Amino acid sequence: MATIEWRSPASEMAVQQFDIAAEKLKLDKNVAGRLRRPDRALIVSVPTRMDDGRVHVFTGYRVQHNDVLGPFKGGIRYHPDVNLGEVSALAMWMTWKCSLVGLPLGGAKGGIACDPRRLSRNELQGMTRRYTAEILNFIGPEVDIPAPDMGTNDQVMAWVMDTYSQHRGYAVPGVVTGKPVDIGGTVGRREATGRGVVYMIMEAAEHLGIDLGKCTAAVQGLGNVGMTTARELAALGVKIVGASDTSGGVWNAQGLAVHDLALYKEKNGYLKGFPSGESLSGTEILEIKCDILIPAASEMQITAGNAPRLKCRILAEGANGPTTPEADRMLSENGVFVIPDILANAGGVIVSYFEWVQDLQNFFWTEDEVRNRLRGILNRAFQEVLSMSQKEKVDMRLAALIIGVRRVARAMLWRGLYA
Ligand code: NAD
């Protein structure tokens, strides 16, 4: 983003990726100038009554990058490192992601700088409701539809939906996705992102002639996305040899039982101390020997510093922005097949789109319908990206960005810049 307000390592990286695609596409300069920065960025103060009686003021954000294809869509992140630049980068990636997989939605993101693990349920609820009240006039089923991201879940989405509905005076389930099924959520949303990652790994394996039944995998970030990915890969016969979260990692060449990892994490809240394996640091996990590596934590984990040491054949980006452009070049030279974030983790927003459609129609689908439609959209997108990468002789990330950015740019040229 050209201006100082949005500048951060993540937003610089998102713009750098965009510029590479814009140059390849010979994008109209006015359109490119506009797409380098968001439509709108809100910073809000979120006073929250803490359990000890104090009022703590958190800082919240909502950044809307582009809505030329449809209403803004994007998650809400609760994490201590959340800042305007990070949220802006994530909003931009959402624009390309929705466009790449052909959804009639634009890109947005939001978040609060906080550590949700240190907040009680009461504090979390109060903070979420006040944040929602602060962004109330900027969200809505026709305007901007939030969803879960790191540190948020279906309960948080239920509070967002309830707060919005209380202010409107009637139930508005379509204001968020990733809600519990009981209040208008869809079946299959919680698992959607991880499931999508696995569908994309299956496509990549078929393209590369790899037998998944003989593969090993490691997952950085055993949360919503990472855990589902590990579980579904294990169900296909892939041996999970490494896993990590913020507390550290565990490695076992004989394979880790995903069910036990999930139970241990549920009981203790973290992975540290998991008994059947060797301990690793959160970053060492990226360098272990495995066929498939899944970063499913945060941005900029794979850099020029560690990219040469990665030993995987397939890198499937469950997280948003885990790989820097310098690392991308090195991975490409080393023959690592990268399934880029805007394709690999698009399953989440695709099923969020299904949820939104179901809410607007008050007509709900079966889990089979959700799964099959998800797989159909993702597999088609994979083949489009692969063809583009072969035709233009570029890596999968640039191919995905070319498709995503081009669709948005075309729509902008039809509609005009209203300058
Ligand atoms: P989550 O909060 O459920 O899980 C995140 C996990 O990562 C936690 O276990 C945390 O301990 C771990 N973690 C954080 N930093 C780490 C680090 N440096 N090293 C190792 N582990 C670390 O979050 P999530 O919803 O699973 O999201 C994970 C990533 O996937 C994010 O980049 C998010 O933007 C992306 N994503 C999520 C969705 C979704 O539907 N939830 C959709 C698309 C993309």
Q: Tens digit of pLDDT for each residue in 392-413?
A: 999 999 999 999 999 999 999 9
The residue whose CA is least distant from atom 4 of ligand 1 is 223
- 276 shares a domain with 233: yes
pLDDT of residue 114 exceeding 80, the answer is yes
Tell me how far the alpha carbon of residue 29 lies from the centroid of ligand 1, in angstroms.
35
Helix (H) / strand (E) element for 250: namely: strand 248-251
Task: Give 269-274's long-range contacts (Cβ < 8 A, gap of 24+).
Answer: 269/117, 270/245, 270/246, 271/222, 271/243, 271/244, 271/245, 271/247, 272/247, 272/248, 274/250
- Is 141 contained in some domain? yes
Label the pairing between strands 216-220 and 239-245.
Answer: parallel
- 108 pairs with which residues across the strands? 64
Diameter of the chain measured on Cα atoms: 62
CATH number at residue 55: 3.40.50.10860
Question: Which residue, 176, 207, 227, sits at the end of a domain?
Answer: 176
- Is 315 contained in some domain? yes
> Residues 6 or more apart from 218 whose CB is under 8 A from it?
240, 241, 242, 243, 251, 285, 286, 288, 290, 292, 293, 294, 312
- Is 338 contained in some domain? yes
| Tens-digit pLDDT profile for residues 126-150 | 999 999 999 999 999 999 999 999 9
Question: Which residue, 327, 344, 361, sits at the end of a domain?
Answer: 344
Phi, psi of 218 (to 5 degrees): -130, 145
129 sits in the region (left: phi over 0; alpha: psi -120 to 50; else beta) called alpha
Q: What is the dihedral of CA 186, 191, 192, 198, to 10 degrees?
A: -160
- Is 360 contained in some domain? no
CA–centroid distance for 409 within its chain: 22
- 46 shares a domain with 154: yes
pLDDT, mean of residues 153-179: 98
- 205 shares a domain with 324: yes
| Tens-digit pLDDT profile for residues 21-42 | 999 999 999 999 999 999 999 9
Index of the ligand 1 atom closest to the CA of residue 226: 26
Instruction: Give the separation between CA 88 and CA 105, rounded to whole angstroms.
Output: 17
Catalytic residue among 24, 29, 97, 109: 109
Helix segments in 236-324, DSSP class H: 258-268
- 330 shares a domain with 241: yes
Instruction: Give the separation between CA 387 and CA 399, rounded to whole angstroms.
Output: 8
- Is 332 contained in some domain? yes
Q: What is the pLDDT of residue 283?
A: 80
Determine the structural domain holding residue 97 and report its residue range.
38-176
- 151 shares a domain with 242: no
Label the pairing between strands 55-66 and 40-49.
Answer: antiparallel
Q: What is the dihedral of CA 197, 218, 236, 399, to 10 degrees?
A: 30
- 228 shares a domain with 335: yes
Q: What is the pLDDT of residue 2?
A: 47
Q: Is 186 in the pocket of ligand 1 (CB under 6 A)?
A: no
Q: What percent of the chain has pLDDT over 90?
A: 97
CATH number at residue 271: 3.40.50.720
Instruction: Give the separation between CA 257 and CA 263, rounded to whole angstroms.
Output: 10
Q: Is 149 in the pocket of ligand 1 (CB under 6 A)?
A: yes
For residue 35, give both structure tokens.
């797409």
- Alpha carbon of 205 to those of 164, 269, 291, 374, 385: distances in Å? 44, 33, 10, 19, 15
> Residues 6 or more apart from 359 whose CB is under 8 A from it?
141, 173, 174, 184
The structural domain count of the chain equals 2
Residue 126 is classified by DSSP as: H
Helix (H) / strand (E) element for 55: namely: strand 55-66
Tell me how far the alpha carbon of residue 116 lies from the centroid of ligand 1, in angstroms.
13
- 324 shares a domain with 208: yes
> Would you say 236 and 205 are in contact if contact means Cβ atoms under 8 Å apart?
no
- 320 shares a domain with 292: yes
- Is 374 contained in some domain? no
Helix segments in 43-182, DSSP class H: 84-100, 121-135, 154-168
231 sits in the region (left: phi over 0; alpha: psi -120 to 50; else beta) called alpha
- 204 shares a domain with 169: no
Q: What is the pLDDT of residue 3?
A: 61
pLDDT, mean of residues 272-281: 91
Q: Is 289 among the catalytic positions?
A: no
The residue behind tokens 């993702």 is 378
> Residues 6 or more apart from 12 whose CB is under 8 A from it?
1, 85
- 315 shares a domain with 273: yes
- Is 206 contained in some domain? yes
Pocket test for ligand 1, best of 101, 195, 225, 352 (most atoms within 8 A of CB): 225
Tell me how far the alpha carbon of residue 169 lies from the centroid of ligand 1, in angstroms.
34
Tell me how far the alpha carbon of residue 265 lies from the centroid of ligand 1, in angstroms.
14
Q: What is the pLDDT of residue 316?
A: 98
Burial class (CB in 10 A: 0-12, 13-18, 19+), 155: middle
- 159 shares a domain with 53: yes
Q: Is 284 in the pocket of ligand 1 (CB under 6 A)?
A: no
- Is 390 contained in some domain? no
Average pLDDT, the chain: 96
| Tens-digit pLDDT profile for residues 304-358 | 999 999 999 999 999 999 999 999 999 999 999 999 999 999 999 999 999 999 9
Question: Which residue, 326, 344, 362, sits at the end of a domain?
Answer: 344
- 317 shares a domain with 212: yes
CB atoms within 10 A of CB 384: 17
